[in-house]
């Protein structure tokens, strides 16, 4: 996990200036910086490295066998297999997962992204040619733009290039870009068409694919931990990881956060940790501590979306603690709610067809929401988050299941994500305590303690006047804030990123089929309040 920057077709390119831009994301890769100019002197790639795999020889940019260079952010989980099957005669200079990309490019050209099983944003540079690509779901962030002279800019974070280009834009997931072809969509799975999602749910296959997806993500030369909220998704990933590591005689550290020990997530996480046998760390924070970090957090997140900020605040505070414990990699449960329709508003889907369309749409927009939050709130602290639910193979299995088997239905006793719960409902060797396996969805920002959002809303009400809200559409015509909380977050974002282009990069997370637009799960009439919530 790192930060990458590429500038191409730039006349009078200033190396020191580019390195200065790259250092704006030094938090993503505090271990070392590298760069490479192209042979024409009008292109340059940089790399801010967080060393996780191949600690000693994995410095980037990585040189191919000729004049081709690569910078890569992410992990390629099938790199060993690719080396053996596609590049058996190549003498690799490193032992890590990134170098395979440059050699595959030298062999096959641009048609390589489909071979890569992993999470990635990368840039290949050869003389005056360049190629830039992003993983299928957008787990790794990437932005692009052009300056007034037509030079191309690409970077892992908005802040690196926002003031350098005319209009900064998120790089679309599942695409690669070249100057000659523009954007090319390489990821086109069958399940993106809701009409073909008619497969019968195979519980054993669902379980096996998720276990394998988790196992892939244990690839590391540094200690690994798990984020454990106590909800279904993180608890399943923690349980799977604990079993896999126990088979190797390895210890697993789990981490949760809440307002105090009586927060819904804190209680559930402690019970899960005791059940699966992890060394558990239960971190607590105050509302005041949360409010204190919001300005800095929004600079890291590069969004004003209320949902993302609510959830990212405790995640950011927890990431700081985890990093202080010497952990560089954590596994997390992002993506499951989008795949299986886990949010409470999915109960209101008017039909199976609309339910399926919404899951496809939510997965397609993960790069603007949960993937953005998971990456940036952890990488702000030089901590890498890996997300097994968004494994390409698991998506192929889970997304193709007929919506009749995924859609929740209370009258039939089908709780949200019931098919996933059934897949791991093993009475002989249980993965989780039964009431945790069948616990109702509690959104992370709620689960840390209900008072977090309640006090946050109250704080914003005091900071924004009624007069300001009346003029909100004039001051902020793009994604006009409709609540004082949204206005407060937008004000902070604007101080960091004042351009209209930056404002347009943000997508707001709003529940569908719901009487109100509040993203909190508690806004749904179906929410079952946890009695001990604080």
CATH top-level class for 2-188? alpha beta
**Per-domain residue ranges of the chain:** 2-188, 192-523
Q: Which of 2, 113, 381, 460 is catalytic?
A: 2
pLDDT at 531: 42
Considering the entire predicted model, what is its pTM?
A: 0.94
- Annotation says 2 is catalytic: yes
pLDDT at 532: 44
- 413-457 pLDDT tens trace: 899 999 999 999 999 999 999 999 998 765 554 556 678 899 999
d(C-alpha 11, C-alpha 128), whole Å: 12
Q: Judge whether 394 and 213 are in contact, CB under 8 Å.
A: yes
Q: Which residues contact 478 (CB under 8 A, 6 or more apart)?
A: 500, 503, 504
| CATH number for the domain formed by residue range(s) 192-523 | 3.40.50.620
> Which DSSP helix (H) or strand (E) runs through 324?
helix 306-324
| Integer-rounded Cα radius of gyration of the chain | 23
Taking the chain (534 residues) in runs of 10, the rounded mean pLDDT of each run is 94 96 95 92 93 71 95 96 96 92 97 97 96 98 97 98 97 98 98 95 98 96 92 96 96 93 84 97 94 97 96 96 95 97 94 97 96 97 96 98 95 93 97 91 60 92 98 97 97 97 94 76 53 45
pLDDT at 534: 47
d(C-alpha 424, C-alpha 428), whole Å: 11
- 265-292 pLDDT tens trace: 888 999 999 999 999 999 999 999 999 9
d(C-alpha 301, C-alpha 307), whole Å: 12
Exposure on the CB side of residue 533, measured as CA atoms within 13 A? 19
Which DSSP string do the residues of 252-273 spell out, in sequence order? -EEEEEESSTTSHHHHHHHHHH
Tally of helices (H runs) and strands (E runs) in the chain: 21, 17
Can you list the positions of beta strands (E) in 360-483? Answer: 384-386
pLDDT at 265: 82
> Which DSSP helix (H) or strand (E) runs through 145?
strand 143-146
């Amino acid at each position: 996990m790192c930060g990458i920057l590429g500038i191409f077709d730039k006349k009078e390119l200033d190396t020191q200036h580019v390195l200065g831009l790259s250092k704006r994301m030094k938090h993503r890769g505090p271990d070392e910086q590298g760069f490479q100019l192209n042979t024409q002197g009008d292109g340059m790639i940089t790399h801010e490295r967080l060393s996780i795999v191949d600690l000693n020889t994995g410095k980037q940019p990585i040189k191919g066998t000729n004049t081709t260079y690569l910078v890569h952010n992410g992990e390629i989980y099938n790199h060993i297999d690719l080396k053996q099957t596609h590049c058996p005669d190549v003498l690799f200079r490193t032992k890590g997962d990134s170098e395979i990309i440059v050699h595959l490019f030298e062999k096959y050209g641009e048609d390589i992204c489909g071979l890569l099983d992993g999470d990635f944003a990368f840039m290949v540079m050869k003389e005056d040619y360049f190629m830039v690509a992003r993983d299928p779901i957008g787990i790794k962030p990437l932005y692009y733009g052009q300056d007034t002279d037509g030079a191309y800019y690409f970077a892992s974070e908005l802040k690196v290039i926002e003031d350098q280009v005319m209009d900064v834009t998120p790089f679309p997931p599942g695409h690669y870009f070249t100057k000659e072809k523009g954007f090319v969509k390489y990821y086109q799975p069958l399940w993106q068409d809701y009409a073909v999602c008619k497969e019968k749910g195979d519980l054993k296959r669902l379980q096996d694919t998720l276990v394998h997806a988790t196992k892939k993500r244990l690839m590391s030369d540094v200690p690994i931990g798990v984020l454990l909220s106590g909800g279904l998704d993180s608890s399943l990933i923690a349980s799977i990881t604990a079993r896999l590591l126990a088979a190797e005689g390895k210890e697993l550290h789990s981490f949760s956060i809440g307002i105090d020990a009586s927060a819904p997530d804190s209680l559930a996480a402690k019970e899960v940790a005791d059940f699966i046998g992890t060394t558990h760390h239960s971190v607590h924070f105050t509302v005041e501590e949360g409010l204190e970090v919001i300005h800095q957090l929004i600079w890291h997140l590069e969004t004003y979306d209320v949902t993302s900020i609510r959830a990212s605040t405790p995640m950011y505070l927890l990431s700081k603690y985890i990093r202080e414990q010497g952990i560089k990699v954590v596994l997390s449960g992002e993506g499951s709610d989008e795949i299986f329709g886990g949010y409470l508003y999915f109960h209101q889907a008017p039909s199976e067809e609309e339910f399926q369309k919404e899951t496809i749409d939510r997965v397609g927009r993960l790069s603007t929401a949960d993937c953005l939050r998971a990456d940036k709130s952890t990488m702000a602290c030089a901590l890498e988050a890996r997300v097994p639910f968004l494994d390409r193979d698991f998506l192929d299995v889970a997304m193709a299941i007929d919506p009749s088997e995924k859609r929740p239905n209370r009258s039939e006793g089908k709780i949200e994500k019931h098919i996933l719960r059934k897949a791991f409902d093993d009475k002989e060797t249980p993965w989780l305590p039964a009431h945790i396996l069948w616990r109702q969805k509690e959104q992370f920002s709620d689960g840390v303690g209900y008072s977090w959002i309640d006090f946050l809303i109250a704080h914003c009400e005091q900071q924004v006047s009624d007069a300001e809200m009346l003029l909100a559409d004039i001051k902020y015509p793009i994604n006009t804030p409709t609540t004082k909380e949204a206005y407060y977050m937008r004000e902070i974002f604007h101080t960091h990123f004042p351009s209209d282009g930056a404002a347009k990069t943000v997508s707001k997370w709003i529940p569908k089929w719901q009487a109100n637009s509040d993203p909190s799960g508690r806004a749904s009439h179906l929410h079952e309040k946890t009695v001990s919530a604080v």
